[in-house]
Structure 1
Amino acid sequence: MSRQGYVNSSVQEPPLDYSFRSIHVIQDLVSEEPRSGLRPLKHSKSGKSVTQSLWLNNNVLSDLRDFNQVVSQLLEHPENLAWIDLSFNDLTSIDPVLTTFFNLSVLYLHGNSIQRLGEVNKLAVLPRLRSLTLHGNPIEEEKGYSKVWSPAQCPALWVSLPISLHPKAQIGTMSPAIALAFLPLVVTLLVRYRHYFRLLVRTILLRSLRDCLSGLQIEERAFSYVLTHALPGDPDHILTTLDHWSSHCEYLSHMGPVKGQILMRLVEEKAPACVLELGTYCGYSTLLIARVLSPGSRLLTVERDPRTAAVAEKLIRLAGFDERTVELIVGSSEEVIPCLRAQHQLSRTDLVLLAHRPRYYLRDLQLLEAHALLPAGATVLADHVLFPGAPRFLQYAKSCGRYRCRLHHTGILDFPAIKDGIAQLTYAGPG
C-alpha cells in the first residue's frame, strides 16, 4: 500500500483506546490491553496498530516520559499520529514530545493541571493542529488566558480554536457547515458510549424527575416497594425484591447479586469477628454481609446522609438484624473513623468494605492505618475501583508495599458492557 493510501485508510480506523485504565506511567501501555470498540482494531503484519488516533484520557499520567518509544511499539507509523487525547490526567506542562508529531490535528489537554500560559506557545510549530482543548486547567485563571494565541503565531489553529481562546470572541459565529462536519463525530461518540449515556439517563435524569414529582428519594421509594412485596425477617427475599425493583422499576445503583457473591464468599472464607462498612447506602451490601456473619460477629456500617441512613436502618431491622449484630453510624467516614475505638469499642476490624465515594477511598484507608484499626491479615474490599474509578487508591495499594492486591473484574449492574471491579487488599502490617 502506498503511503498516501495508508494515511487515508488509517484515518478511518478506530482509535487505540487506553482510557479509564488507571495508567500512571506511559510504559504501562505496552502491557495494557486497549479498550474494545464497535469495530476491531486493524493491525499490520508486524502486529502494530495502523490507526492515527491514540486516546489516553481519564488516567493518572503526570508526565510523558518515553512517549516516543512506547508509541513506536504500538503504532506502525507513529509519525502519522493525528489525534491524541490526554484529557483528565495530571499533566502540569505540555511536553515537547507532542511537538514532534507534525501531522497532529486534534489534541485534547482539558482537565489537567497545566499552569503556565507559556506552555501553549510550544504548539505553534504544529502546522496541521486544528483543534486544541485546554479548559479545566489552572491556566484558565491566569490573566490573559483568552489572548494566548494570535493569528500570526498559528493561523491554521486560530481559525478553529474554542471561543474561550479567541480575543473578543462572539458567541454564535459557527457556520452550519462547520457544525455539520462535527455531526459524524457526535454520532460516533453517542454510539460508542451509548451504555454510559443510558446509565446517565437512568441514574441522573429520570431519578431527578421522579424525586421532584414524588417528593421522595429513590431509596425511600424502594423501601416502600420492599414493605409491600418482601417477607419481613427474610434477608434473602428482601435482597431479591430490591434486585427486582432495580431491574424493573427504577435503577437503584446498588451492589447487585454478581458482586454480592464475591462479597459473601469472602466473608464466609475469612469469618471476620468484626466488619466495618463505609457507605451503607440503602443497606443492600449490609444485608449481604450480615446474613453470612459467624455467630457473635459484629458489623459496623457508616452512612453520611441521614435521610438515606434512616431508610437503611428500617431495612436492616426489617430483615431481622438487631443493633448487637449490625450497628448503623450516621456521619462522614472522615469524622467517624478516628472515633471508632473510643465511642464504638472497635479496637480492630478484620474486614473493611469501601462502598461510599471512590475519591475518599485512599483518605479513609490511610486513616484506618493511622489509627491502627487494621491488624495484619485484614482484608479491605473496595467497590467501583474501575468505574467511576479510584486510580490513586489502587496506585497506593500496589506501590506502598503493605498490601497484596487482587482485582475481581465485574460489570455495572444491568450494564455489563461498562467494566468495573472490586479490589481485594490483604494487609501485611505497617512494615
Structure 2
Amino acid sequence: MSKQDYMNTSVQEPPLDYSFRSIHVIQDLISEEPRTGLRPLKHSKSGKSLTQSLWLNNNVLNELRDFNQVISKLLEHPENLAWIDLSFNDLTSIDPVLATLFNLSVLYLHGNSIQRLGEVNKLAVLPRLRSLTLHGNPIEEEKGYRAQVETMSPAIALAFLPLVVTLLVRYRHHFRLLVRTVLLRSLRDCLSGLRIEERAFSYVLTHALPGDPGHILTTLDHWSSHCEYLSHMGPVKGQILIRLVEEKAPTCVLELGTYCGYSTLLIARALPPGGRLITVERDPRTAEVAEKLIRLAGFDERTVELIVGSSEEVIPRLRTTYQLSRVDLVLLAHRPRCYLRDLQLLEAHALLPAGATVLADHVLFPGAPRFLQYAKSCGRYRCRLHHTGLPDFPAIKDGIAQLTYAGPG
C-alpha cells in the first residue's frame, strides 16, 4: 500500500489498543498482544499496523523512553500518528518525543502525575493539535491552570486559527444570517420590548396601504431587506407558491405555520372565488400579529381562518370542529422536524384526496431529510424539488418540495 493510500484510509482504522495491560515500559509493547475490537486491525505486507491511533491508557508507564523506536516497529507510518491516549498512567512530565509527532491532533494525558504547568508549552509546536486533556493531574492545583490549560494555552489555540478562518470564509453567509437572526434580533427584542413580528407590523402600519395585500407584501420585503431580517418566505419562493395556487385553483388550502402572515397573504390573494384558507399558528403572540396583518389586507374570516394551536392537536379536529372534509393544497411552513409527523396525520385522517398538492418550505435549510425520504420512498407521492435561496441570502441554498398525492395506495 502506498503512503497516499495509507493516508486516505488509516484514519478510519480502529486503534492499536494496549490499554489495561499493566505495561511498565514502552518496550513491552513489542511482546504484548493488542486488544481486539469489533473490527480487525489491518496490516501492511510487512506486518505493521495501518492505523493512526495508539491507545496506551490505564497502564503504569512513567516515561516514554525509546518511544519512536518501538512504534516504528508497530506502525507502518509512525510519523502520521494522529491520536495517542496516555491517560491514567504515572507520567510526571510531558516527554519531548510527543512534540516531534507533527500530525498529532488528539492527545489524552488526564489522570497522570504531571506537576508543572510549564510542561504544556512543549506541545505548542504541534500545528494540528486540536484536543488535549490534562485534568486529574497535580497541575490542576497550580495557579493559572484554568486560564492556560482550558484554553489549551495561547500557542496551542493558534492551531485552531486556520480552521476558524476557513470556516468563516466558507460559511460567511451562514455567519451573517446567524448574526442577523439571533444576535441582533435578541438585542432589539430586549431594547424595544417587542418581537420582530410586532416591529414588522408597526412598520407596515406606517408604510403600507390598507386593503392592498400586494403592497403589504412589498412593504414586508423592504423591511426585511433594509431593516431587520424577517425569516419569511420572500418574493422568489412566493412566486412559486402563487403560481401553484393559481394552477391548482384549490377550494380549500391548509397552511401549517402562519408566522407573520406573509405566505398567508400570498395564498389568499391567489385563491379562486369562494376559496377558503385555514392557517394554523401555535404561538398566540405571533398569531395575534398575523391576524391583524391578514385583516389589514382585507381578508375576512370566511376567506382566511386563523387557528391558534399546535398542528399535532389541530389536524385531528379539522373534520369535527372546523368542518373540513378535504384539503386540496397544504403548505408546511412551521417546523421542518414536524413535517413528517403532520403529513402522516393528514393521511391518517383521510384529509388528502387523490391529486392533492403538499408544499414544504425549508426542506434543504435547515432541512427535512426524514420527510423527503418518506415522500420519495412510500410510493404515494410524486415529488419535485424547487431549488431556491433564502431571502436576502441567495448563497444559502434552500428549496420547496412539491408533492402530489396519488392516494392511499
TM-score for both structures, normalised by structure 1: 0.64
CA distance in 2, matches of 1:25, 1:374: 71
Give the CA deviation at 1:369: 0.5
Give the CA deviation at 1:324: 0.5
CA distance in 2, matches of 1:52, 1:418: 36
Give the CA deviation at 1:172: 2.5
Maintained 8 Å contact 2:316/2:349? yes
Ranges in structure 1 where 5+ consecutive residues have no aligned partner: 146-167
**Rg comparison, structure with higher value:** 2
Maintained 8 Å contact 2:130/2:159? no
Give the CA deviation at 1:414: 0.5
Ranges in structure 2 where 5+ consecutive residues have no aligned partner: none
- Stretch deviating more after TM superposition (227-236 or 136-145): 136-145
- Among all aligned residue pairs of Structure 1 and Structure 2, give the percentage whose two residues are the same amino acid: 91
CA separation of 1:344/1:244 partners in 2, compared to 1, >3 Å: closer, same or farther? same
Give the CA deviation at 1:50: 20
- Stretch deviating more after TM superposition (30-39 or 170-179): 30-39
Task: Tell me what 2:386 maps to.
Answer: 408
Q: What root-mean-square deviation, in Å, do the aligned CA atoms of Structure 1 and Structure 2 show? A: 13.9
CA separation of 1:209/1:4 partners in 2, compared to 1, >3 Å: closer, same or farther? same
CA distance in 2, matches of 1:244, 1:21: 68
Maintained 8 Å contact 1:63/1:95? yes
CA separation of 1:385/1:127 partners in 2, compared to 1, >3 Å: closer, same or farther? same
Q: Deviations over 1:68-96 (max 9, x none)?
A: 99999999999999999999999999999
CA separation of 1:176/1:78 partners in 2, compared to 1, >3 Å: closer, same or farther? closer
Maintained 8 Å contact 1:61/1:90? yes
Q: Deviations over 1:288-333 (max 9, x none)?
A: 0000100001000000001110111111011111100000000000
Task: Tell me what 1:340 maps to.
Answer: 318
* Partner secondary structure for residue 253 of structure 2: strand
Give the CA deviation at 1:175: 2.1
CA distance in 1, matches of 2:209, 2:177: 30
Give the CA deviation at 1:35: 39
Give the CA deviation at 1:358: 0.4
Task: Tell me what 1:6 maps to.
Answer: 6
Maintained 8 Å contact 1:21/1:386? no
CA distance in 1, matches of 2:53, 2:216: 48
Maintained 8 Å contact 2:124/2:155? no
* Partner secondary structure for residue 291 of structure 1: helix
Maintained 8 Å contact 1:403/1:426? yes
* Partner secondary structure for residue 324 of structure 1: coil
TM-score for both structures, normalised by structure 2: 0.68
Maintained 8 Å contact 2:363/2:400? yes
Maintained 8 Å contact 1:20/1:386? no
- Stretch deviating more after TM superposition (112-121 or 190-199): 112-121
* Partner secondary structure for residue 170 of structure 1: helix
CA separation of 1:202/1:125 partners in 2, compared to 1, >3 Å: closer, same or farther? closer
* Partner secondary structure for residue 103 of structure 2: coil
CA distance in 2, matches of 1:422, 1:35: 50
| Number of equivalent positions | 409
Flag as ranges the 4+ runs of structure 1 deviating above 4 A: 1-145, 168-171
Q: Deviations over 1:103-144 (max 9, x none)?
A: 996899999999999999999999999759999999999999
CA distance in 2, matches of 1:240, 1:21: 71
Give the CA deviation at 1:210: 0.6
- Stretch deviating more after TM superposition (410-419 or 69-78): 69-78
Q: Deviations over 1:229-279 (max 9, x none)?
A: 111111100000000000001110000000000000000000001000000
Maintained 8 Å contact 1:24/1:59? yes
